């Protein structure tokens, strides 16, 4: 019997020993766990609390260091209910300084649920108002007057735009929830916003240095030239008034690398008051028509048609065409813009006089497969890939689409029945200024983070034509401008360019009295440094691009060569030959 009890006792001892070893092993595991190391490094659980810290949003600068978007400190003004000594005095002072009524302020303090320890009176209060409040509170404390006890201030950042509406269509805006909308603010929202960090905050103020620094969001440098942007916006605004246009857009780009130097549209908004968006725009496509609105461009499209035909060998500059004033394509009669017959013309003459009939003939000579193949390579019907939010695609109907008809081959050749954005046309035309290679437009120049700068490389979007074709077309367009003494000419500089007047389609066909006028041009022809697109919507002083968009282009070109410090051709060529 004793032996039996002894065995049982040994068994129990063994079991207790196993349990003890298990507890010991668990204690060692917990003490060496990641959670335990965090806990031990932060101290007593009841000596602080976990808080989420949001980084300061990255700033945005132009290429020359001008601040376009930054941050300013604002305050949340609240009341710590347990510390309130005199609710009436607190309500009166806060109501006075914050522009609130005494009654609504007092109700927030006295009618709050008992479980609440803190109530927000007003957020996003200007630092100047808070400074005045803090001074008053301190003055009362100095004389042992505690009637304003309980008022609390919590600083945080608010997005600030020192230039107000300048480049608003490029920048976009940030709402109070910290989210970016439109433009750069939306496209690069994650980079700009940075990464929130959850850290342990000790109650002991002596341990405040233990709070880790939260890295700011990434700072962005844009390709935009602030001074050129401002001048282009002013030129656009003046053009709308002078020509009675509804809205418009002007884009200036470096055709060598795709850097957008200026992008002006209307209407613009003060980004510090983003609620104005709802009164200015009916939908997001109107925020930046340069990339968001596709329209029928009219005769600026003829430069793509001519380039395609030259590259395919369908025509040469010396090819002649007898223009009788009309042509049949797909059983439909196509006529010139003035319904006249222009007789025998070479291909430069077809461009100079902007002959619809000649262009329709060229596209039929090429045939649908070749013509649309080139238009696809020029990027029509595809987004450019620009680093801005909400880019539209445009539309290029092609054979096989349910709404494509044979006549489209003729009308598409002069920019009717096809839609593009201004930036799509700039990207396509960059091939003419860049030895046949298209560049991808971009607005970001570099990123700054953790003391390092990361530059954004240029990207190419294909080579739709040869370098020889590009040179040939440049000369044809430059000769065309010079021959007609165009209002787009800039004394001292040889430029290439093309007008575009497009009737606006309606439910019942095209309205001959309402047009979109455009002009695309670049220079200097021998070494293009800038490319400009002008689009004015429905001008009333004249429906023709030559009277409206062309002189607007000349004004923009003049400011561009000044700010880019481009000397006249004869000076530049003389200096380069030395």
461-510: pLDDT as tens digits = 999 999 999 999 999 999 999 887 679 999 999 999 999 999 998 878 88
Distance between CA atoms of 502 and 356, rounded to whole angstroms?
Answer: 11
User: What mean pLDDT comes out for the span 66-94?
Assistant: 92
DSSP E strands, 466-538: 496-506, 509-523, 530-537
Q: Which pTM value belongs to this model?
A: 0.86
Residues facing residue 518 across a β-bridge: 500, 535
Q: Where in the chain is the domain with CATH 3.30.70.2110?
A: 69-160
Contacts of 422 (CB under 8 A, 6+ apart): 249, 251, 289, 290, 291, 518, 533, 535
Q: Which of 34-43, 48-57, 182-191, 410-419 has the lowest mean pLDDT?
A: 34-43
Backbone angles phi, psi at 156, to 5 degrees: -160, 175
Cα separation, 230 vs 211, whole angstroms: 43
Q: Rounded to an integer, what distance in angstroms lies between the CA atom of residue 243 and that of residue 249?
A: 14
Options 3.40.50.2300, 3.90.550.10, 1.10.238.10, 3.30.70.2110; CATH of 69-160: 3.30.70.2110
Task: Give me the chain's average pLDDT, please.
Answer: 90
Which residue in the block uniquely carries the two structure tokens 């884009």?
Answer: 251
Helices 87-98 and 127-142 cross at an angle (nearest 10°) of 150
Confidence at residue 31, expressed as pLDDT on a 0 to 100 scale: 64
Tell me the β-bridge partners of 134: none
Mean pLDDT, to the nearest integer, of 504-527? Answer: 90
Residues 6 or more apart in contact with residue 149 via CB below 8 angstroms: 83, 84, 85, 86
Q: Mutual orientation of helices 467-483 and 302-312 as an angle, nearest 10°?
A: 130
CA 485 to chain centre: 36
- Identify the sign of the CA torsion 297, 299, 305, 310: negative
How does residue 40 score in pLDDT terms, banded at 50, 70 and 90?
low
- The mean per-residue pLDDT over the stretch 88-92 comes to 91
Instruction: Please count the helices (runs of H) and the strands (runs of E) in the chain.
Output: 20, 20
pLDDT at 34 over 70: no
Which CATH code for domain 226-439+460-577?
3.40.710.10
Q: How far is CA 311 from CA 83, 164, 314, in A?
A: 81, 47, 8
| Phi, psi at 304, each rounded to 5° | -70, -40
Nearest to 532 by CA among 519, 542, 545: 519
> Where in the chain is CATH 3.40.710.10?
226-439+460-577
Tokens 């001292």 found at: 492
pLDDT given at position 475: 95
């Amino acid at each position: 019997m004793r032996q039996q009890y002894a065995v049982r006792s040994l068994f129990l001892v063994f079991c207790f020993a196993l349990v003890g070893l298990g507890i010991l092993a668990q204690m060692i595991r917990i003490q060496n766990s990641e959670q335990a190391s965090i806990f031990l490094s932060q101290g007593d659980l009841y000596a602080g609390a976990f808080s989420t810290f949001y980084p300061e949003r990255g700033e945005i600068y132009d290429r020359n260091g001008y601040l376009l978007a930054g941050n300013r400190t604002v305050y949340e003004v609240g009341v710590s209910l347990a510390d309130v000594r005199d609710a009436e005095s607190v309500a009166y002072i806060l109501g006075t300084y914050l522009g609130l009524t005494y009654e609504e302020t007092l109700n927030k303090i006295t009618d709050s649920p008992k479980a609440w320890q803190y109530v927000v009176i007003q957020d996003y209060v200007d630092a100047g108002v808070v400074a005045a409040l803090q001074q008053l509170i301190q003055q009362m404390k100095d004389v042992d007057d505690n009637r304003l006890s309980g008022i609390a201030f919590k600083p945080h950042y608010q997005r600030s735009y020192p230039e107000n509406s300048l480049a608003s269509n490029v920048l976009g805006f940030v709402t109070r929830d910290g989210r970016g909308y439109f433009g750069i603010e939306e496209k690069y929202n994650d980079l700009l916003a940075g990464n929130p960090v959850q850290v342990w905050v000790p109650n002991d103020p002596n341990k405040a240095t233990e709070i880790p620094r939260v890295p700011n969001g990434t700072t962005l440098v844009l390709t935009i030239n602030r001074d050129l942007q401002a001048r282009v916006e002013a030129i656009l605004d003046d053009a709308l008034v002078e020509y009675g246009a509804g809205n418009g857009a002007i884009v200036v780009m470096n055709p060598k690398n795709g850097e957008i130097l200026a992008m002006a549209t209307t209407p613009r908004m003060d980004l510090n008051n983003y609620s104005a968006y709802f009164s200015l725009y009916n939908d997001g496509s109107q925020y930046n028509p340069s990339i968001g609105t596709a329209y029928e461009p009219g005769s600026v499209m003829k430069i793509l048609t001519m380039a395609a035909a030259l590259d395919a060998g369908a025509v040469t500059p010396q090819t002649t065409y007898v223009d009788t004033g009309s042509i049949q394509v797909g059983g439909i009669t196509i006529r010139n813009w003035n319904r006249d017959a222009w007789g025998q013309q070479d291909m430069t003459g077809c461009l100079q006089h902007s002959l619809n009939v000649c262009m329709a003939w060229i596209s039929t000579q090429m045939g649908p497969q070749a013509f649309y193949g080139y238009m696809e390579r020029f990027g029509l019907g595809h987004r450019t890939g620009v680093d801005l939010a909400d880019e539209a695609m445009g539309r290029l109907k092609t054979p096989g689409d349910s709404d494509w008809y044979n006549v489209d081959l003729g009308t598409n050749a002069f920019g009717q029945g096809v839609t593009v954005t201004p930036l799509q046309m700039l990207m396509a035309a960059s091939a003419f200024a860049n030895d046949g290679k298209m560049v991808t437009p971009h607005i970001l120049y570099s990123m700054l983070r953790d003391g390092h700068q990361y530059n954004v490389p240029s990207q190419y979007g294909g080579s739709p034509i040869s370098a020889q074709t590009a040179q040939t077309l440049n000369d044809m367009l430059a000769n065309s401008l010079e021959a007609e003494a165009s209002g787009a000419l800039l004394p001292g500089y040889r430029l290439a360019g093309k007008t575009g007047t497009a009737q606006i389609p309606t439910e019942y066909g095209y309205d001959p009295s309402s047009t979109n006028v455009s002009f695309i041009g670049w220079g200097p022809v021998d070494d293009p440094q800038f490319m400009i697109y002008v689009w004015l919507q429905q001008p009333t002083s004249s429906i023709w691009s030559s009277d409206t968009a062309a002189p607007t282009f000349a004004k923009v070109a003049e400011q561009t060569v000044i700010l880019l410090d481009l000397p006249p051709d004869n000076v530049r060529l003389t200096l380069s030959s030395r």
